[in-house]
Amino acid sequence: MAKAVKVKDRGWLRIKVALRALDGLQATIGLHPDAGPHEGDITNVGLGVVHEFGVQFMHPGGTPYTFRFSPGSSRSGAMIGGSLVFLRKGDPDAIGITKPHLIQIPERSFMRSSWDKNVKGYDRLMRRMAGALIDGDKRPSQAIGLVAEKVLADVRRTMNRGIPPPLKPATIRRKRSSKPLIHTAQLKQALTVKVFK
């Protein structure tokens, strides 16, 4: 009679169990449908898409405007320079109304550019998390969640550093900041991580 086969499992079963626990588990990082309101008619998701990919559209015109002068530095004290200021409809200070014109908002990728810059680090982190999962040091949702939180932190860091192209001088004056996308930090704060199966 043949001898019984003796199987020595050196961790394969543990690996299979860990991989099975990951099956169907995923994380999303970014602006989710519940990302909160934004001033005006656009949601944070819509605003994020506009900045991530850029947009070009025809404005129908009809916006009242005025010109605000800046005090000059000449001896006569004459007003030199100034800026165009858009007003609400019906404002008595209006000196004109805009005609139809093209508006172009440039691409300022905060998600894709951050991912592309850091993808090798995410690969290393995912390998470490896979090892921790197999060793039983992390639960599946913890492992995926930690990678997702790292991606989110990097996206926010990208926004804090500033994303090209630079803002126009008029926009810098209005926002009192030269960094795109962080005037109120509303978009940055609306970024979240979701882990689900």
Element (H, E) at 44: helix 44-53
Residue 3 pLDDT level (bands cut at 50, 70, 90): confident
Alpha-carbon Rg for the chain in angstroms: 27
> pTM of the prediction?
0.77
Residue 144 near residue 23, CB atoms below 8 Å: no
What does the block give as tokens for 112?
């894709």
Residue 80 pLDDT level (bands cut at 50, 70, 90): low
Residue 75 pLDDT level (bands cut at 50, 70, 90): low
d(CA 22, CA 98): 56
For a pLDDT cut of 90, what percent of the chain falls above it? 53
